[in-house]
Structure 1
Amino acid sequence: MSVANIIKNRRATPPRLFSKKSLPKATIQALLESANWAPNHKKTEPWRFKVYEGKAKAKLAAGARNILLHKQQEGYPVALEKIEKFASTLERVPVVIAVVLQRDTAERIPEWEEVAAVSMAVQNMWLTATELNLAAFWATPAFTELFDELLELGEHQKSLGFFYAGEVMMDYPSPGRGDLDKKVEWKH
């Protein structure tokens, strides 16, 4: 498949459409290897990933559920249904990859550029997943800011969500895109 076709076939497949079957380590490694080739300025390579499977994934889900329930009791605005949906998704999908920004300690470039580099790393994983006929989804709930300790984040690190990958249980149709001509101005 050409790169253009891979881009057009990439989907944010809802996790409920993932098979529960585990992925081989070599497949996960291929996703991460693609991520590692994302462009970035000053060679900061600000992407970090934490891969959760099996018991570690179950522990992550339980920890996230407990943190969110505790924060909800303290008045944090998150609905019980959202807590359960998030935690059960972590339990259900075969692989959860925590996406982490490692900020350049010298702050040689603006943070937004490093966030953009991490986003491109995630896009590389997503395109590789598409090429491998895998389902993928990047979950970025606002409450990921509460998981620093759970994710064992270090200094100058920030969670940018969770990338889910697995086998496709059923095809998910393209939502399509709007007319490109309405989004481009040609200057001559």
Structure 2
Amino acid sequence: MDISDIIKKRRATPPRFMAKKELEKELILTLLENANWAPNHKKTEPWRFWVFQGESKQRLSESVFNLLEKEKSNGELVNMQKAEKFRDNLMRAPVAIAIIMQRDAGERISEWEEVAAVSMAVQNMWLTATQMELGAFWSTPPFLPLIQQHLNLGTGQKLLGFFFVGHIAMDYPSPGRGPVSEKVQWK
């Protein structure tokens, strides 16, 4: 499969379409190694990844849901339907990888460039997962700031979501794309 085919075959595969089968550590390491080769300015390499599976994923699911229930009862605007969906997705996906941006301490480049670099790292993981015939999904629920506080991230770190990955149980159809000609102007 050439790169154009991999790009066009890439899907956002919700965890409900993932098999309840553990993912081999070597596959996870390949995803992370390829993420590490994303482009970035000044060699800041702002991506950090926390891998959750098995019991650690179970603990994360329970603690985050309990946190969101508590915050809701304290008056925080938390959509509990989305909280339940996030908890369920954490439990369905064999692997959940927290996507964290580590801001360059010297702030030599703008924050948006660091976020873009982390996004490219995630795209590298996603394309690798596609090539391996794995399903993947980047979850960015609106309550990420609450989860970030809960995870006790380090100075300059920002949680950008969770990357769920696993073997595909059922293909998820492509939403397709409109013609590129409608999005390009030749000047």
TM-score (norm 2): 0.97
Q: What are the Cα deviations for residues 7-48 of structure 1, in whole angstroms up to 9, with x where unaligned?
A: 000000111101110100000000000100000000000000
Amino acid of the structure 1 residue aligned with 2:31: L
Q: Distance in 2 between matches of 1:151 and 1:27?
A: 25
Identify the residue that residue 181 of structure 2 maps to in structure 1: 181
Amino acid of the structure 2 residue aligned with 1:144: L
Question: Given that residues 18 and 135 in structure 1 are in contact (C-alpha distance below 8 angstroms), is that contact kept between their aligned partners in structure 2?
Answer: yes
Identify the residue that residue 139 of structure 2 maps to in structure 1: 139
Runs of 4+ aligned structure 1 residues displaced above 3 Å come to: none
Q: 1:93-104 residue pairs with structure 2 within 5 A?
A: 93-104=93-104
Identify the residue that residue 49 of structure 1 maps to in structure 2: 49
Q: 1:18-57 residue pairs with structure 2 within 5 A?
A: 18-57=18-57
Amino acid of the structure 2 residue aligned with 1:107: E
Q: Distance in 2 between matches of 1:80 and 1:181?
A: 41
Larger deviation, residues 72-81 vs 111-120: 72-81
Q: Distance in 2 between matches of 1:80 and 1:100?
A: 24
Deviation at 1:151?
Answer: 2.4
Q: Distance in 2 between matches of 1:33 and 1:47?
A: 11
Q: Distance in 2 between matches of 1:75 and 1:121?
A: 36
Deviation at 1:84?
Answer: 1.2
Q: Distance in 1 between matches of 2:75 and 2:183?
A: 41
Deviation at 1:73?
Answer: 1.1
Q: 1:80-159 residue pairs with structure 2 within 5 A?
A: 80-159=80-159
Q: Distance in 2 between matches of 1:167 and 1:102?
A: 29
Amino acid of the structure 2 residue aligned with 1:34: N
**SS of the counterpart of 2:42?**
helix
Amino acid of the structure 2 residue aligned with 1:75: G
Larger deviation, residues 141-150 vs 6-15: 141-150
Larger deviation, residues 154-163 vs 141-150: 141-150
Q: Distance in 2 between matches of 1:177 and 1:88?
A: 29
TM-score (norm 1): 0.97
Question: Given that residues 38 and 121 in structure 1 are in contact (C-alpha distance below 8 angstroms), is that contact kept between their aligned partners in structure 2?
Answer: yes
Identify the residue that residue 168 of structure 1 maps to in structure 2: 168
Q: Distance in 2 between matches of 1:76 and 1:179?
A: 42
**Is it true that 1:12 corresponds to 2:6 in the alignment?**
no
Deviation at 1:149?
Answer: 4.0
Question: Given that residues 46 and 104 in structure 2 are in contact (C-alpha distance below 8 angstroms), is that contact kept between their aligned partners in structure 1?
Answer: yes
Query: Among the aligned pairs, what percent are the same residue?
Result: 58
Count of equivalent residues: 187
Amino acid of the structure 2 residue aligned with 1:93: A
Deviation at 1:89?
Answer: 1.2
Q: Distance in 1 between matches of 2:127 and 2:151?
A: 25
Q: What are the Cα deviations for residues 115-173 of structure 1, in whole angstroms up to 9, with x where unaligned?
A: 00000000000000000000000001121111224323101000000000000001111
